[in-house]
Amino acid sequence: MPYRIGVATIDRVEEQRFPVPVAMLTDDEDLVERHLTPLPVGLFDPDAETFQFCFQSWIIRVDGLTVLVDPCNGNGRAGRPAPAFDGLHTPYLERLEALGAPAAAIDVVFCTHFHYDHCGWNTQLVDGCWVPTFPTARYVFVDAEYARWEPAGGGHPNDFNGNVFDESVRPVVEAGQATIVATPHQLSPSLRIESAPGHTVGHAALRLESVGAVAWFVGDVVHHPVQVLRPELHLPGCDDLPQAIATRRTMFAAIRAEGALMFPAHFAEPHHGRIGDAPTDGEEEFLFLAGGAEPA
């Protein structure tokens, strides 16, 4: 279902999903009972003690542009850390087309960071070579994130993201379709890229403001709603965990202060929400309030 933010429209395209044990985030039974059980079942299934981990992209139409945020894993990859990511053959491009956003119509591709599940569809395999999937798009990469992975500049892979640069980033640069920017960067009158480091060194978020309405596309700043209440909880894989926690706290406070909507990369239905106050006798805490966007 498309949403409206001011005069912008937002669509979502899902590549795949699978359940993740909530124990990967927390073993606090009281926290789970009080704050996860009331969530929609995709965000917490109390019978299975899991939550659905969605791999999805956001499509933003504003300022005469069609912007694709975080193009998922991609088909035909090998060497990923789990069978769920290797050898995919998903109809991702067909799903984009069904939303009125075929590959040739994408104007801008923005990757919040270069983990393989956020930039895989940057490219596709054609005659044995990785080539840009979106033939006329401008791919916007953040300079700190580019340097984090670019081998000639001293970048280095971690143990689960080893071939991402050569498969999903370098071919775009060599095709002349990459624009490398420093943050903050005004992408269009309504869209601004902001630094959000920690999960990776150069992780960034995209802020949309249209006719006074605000939304943030936050990538992997957050993986599950319980982190809004407890920002110190985390899934494995951060470059700098203390920085990731600090970024969560800062971003949640900003989103709450603006009354903005938050669109993370991996939340199950309703896939987005707002941040509100949590009852507490201690320091200020926030809760995730699922949903809230106006249907388009």
pLDDT at 163: 84
pLDDT digits (tens, 9 = 90+) for 155-187: 666 666 778 899 999 999 999 999 999 999 999
Q: Find the radius of gyration of the CA atoms of the chain.
A: 18
Provide the domain limits for residue 290. 3-295
Q: Which residue is associated with the tokens 């982190």?
A: 227
**Smallest Cα–Cα separation from 80: which of 173, 167, 186?**
167
pLDDT at 83: 78
Ranges in the chain, pLDDT < 70: 153-160, 280-284
What percent of the chain shows pLDDT beyond 90?
86
The total of structural domains in the chain comes to 1
| Residue 43 identity (one-letter amino acid) | L
Q: Round to whole Å and give the CA distance between 229 and 239.
A: 22
pLDDT at 283: 58
pLDDT digits (tens, 9 = 90+) for 195-228: 999 999 999 999 999 999 999 999 999 999 999 9
Question: Domain of 106: which CATH number?
Answer: 3.60.15.10
pLDDT at 81: 74
Does the predicted TM-score (pTM) go above 0.85? yes
- End-to-end, the C-alpha distance of the chain in Å comes to 8
Q: Are 274 and 261 in contact (CB under 8 A)?
A: yes
